[in-house]
Amino acid sequence: MILHGYWRSGTSYRTRIALNLKGLTYDQVGVDLRQGAQRSAAYLALNPQGLVPALEVDGQVLTQSPAILEWLEETCPEPPLLPVDTGARAQVRAMAALIGCDIHPLNNLRALKALRQDFGADQAATDAWAGHWVHAGFAALEALVARHGDGWAWGDAPTLADCYLIPQIYSARRFNVSLEAYPRLLAIETAAEAHPAFIAAHPDRQPDAD
């Protein structure tokens, strides 16, 4: 497997976590989003959308981290990242989508670049923008973890929801978002800081990190 990604990308981060939780070995190729490497002809040949991550495996290229994570669950079912019960699986997917659909797209590099270039937002304004959407999503997620969590977002073992959550907490800290109102989410962060799969996936530990 070859993972094309960017060390600080939340979508690349969540993919690394899932690969590590599955115990899979993969090589990494850095795609520097700041330098526009995602728009190079070579990368667009892999992923015409020009986004990270892209996973080369078995002669094919998989894109979009939700699809990659679902593919991993289907092809490498152990350890499972989704519960057995279909209703519980839907709940975990909903928790992941809360982050992947309703928080992350609004504070990723493309969105913030548009805020700065098209609307003249300074750093304080972009931080406030990111914080608004983080707080809206994390308040709901805190309540869901209170219902379903037992050390992790759902139950007592990492799931897809945690693969999404930890990178979003990392991103929230980059934008100076106060997280004290979310003790259950911070407890999951503490658990992840002691888990080898999450440790190895941290942006600072990646070969292309600054």
Q: pLDDT tens digit string along 177-202?
A: 999 999 999 999 999 999 999 999 99
Cα(73)–Cα(150) distance, integer angstroms: 21
Domain boundaries, the chain: 2-78, 86-197
Q: In this predicted structure, what is the pLDDT of residue 184?
A: 98
User: Do 103 and 171 contact (CB within 8 A), yes or no?
Assistant: no
Q: In this predicted structure, what is the pLDDT of residue 110?
A: 85
Cα(181)–Cα(133) distance, integer angstroms: 14
Q: In this predicted structure, what is the pLDDT of residue 197?
A: 98
Per-residue pLDDT tens over the stretch 110-165:
898 899 999 999 999 999 999 999 999 999 999 999 999 999 999 999 999 999 99
Phi/psi of residue 8, nearest 5 degrees? -100, 0
Q: Which fold has domain 86-197?
A: Glutathione S-transferase Yfyf (Class Pi); Chain A, domain 2 (1.20.1050)
Per-residue confidence at 205, pLDDT binned at 50, 70, 90? very high
Per-residue pLDDT tens over the stretch 15-63:
999 999 999 999 999 999 999 999 999 999 999 999 999 999 999 999 9
Does the structure show a pLDDT above 90 at 3? yes
Angle at 202 between CA 201 and CA 208, to 5 degrees: 90
Q: Which CATH number fits domain 2-78: 3.40.30.10, 1.10.10.10, 3.20.20.70, 3.40.718.10?
A: 3.40.30.10
Q: In this predicted structure, what is the pLDDT of residue 108?
A: 84
Per-residue pLDDT tens over the stretch 75-107:
999 999 999 999 999 999 999 999 999 999 998
